[in-house]
Amino acid sequence: MKKVIFAIVAGVMSVGFVQVTNAQRLTSPDQASATQTDEKVKIKVEELPDAVKNALEGDAYKGWAADAAYFNKTKNYYEVEVKKGTETKTLKFSKEGAIVE
């Protein structure tokens, strides 16, 4: 009788262990994606460096208006959402005003 009870307890414990292990694995991708989304910080368009503002005012972006701006802390560049009518683009600039690929 003791062997039967021991076998049942061991079986229940092993199933619980497998579920806990799987639960830990499922949280890992979520943690990684949270890190990826936290690298951008919204800033005011007025807070962009002068070099970036000058690049946006140049002939290449004539007619485009800056709608929103972000600073990517991890990769150290500025991301600017620009609009021209109904068309929108996202541009990436270094602090020197150069386009980042």
Question: Mind listing the pLDDT tens digit for each residue in 46-90?
Answer: 999 999 999 999 999 999 999 999 999 999 999 999 999 999 999
- pTM of model > 0.75: no
Asked whether residue 30 is domain-assigned, the answer is yes
Are 14 and 44 in the same domain? no
Give the pLDDT of residue 8.
76
User: What percent of the chain stands above pLDDT 70?
Assistant: 67
If one counts the domains in the chain, the total is 2
Residues 6+ apart with CB under 8 A from 98: 55
Give the pLDDT of residue 3.
75
Are 79 and 44 in the same domain? yes
Residue 29 has pLDDT above 60, yes or no: no
Domain that holds residue 82: 39-93
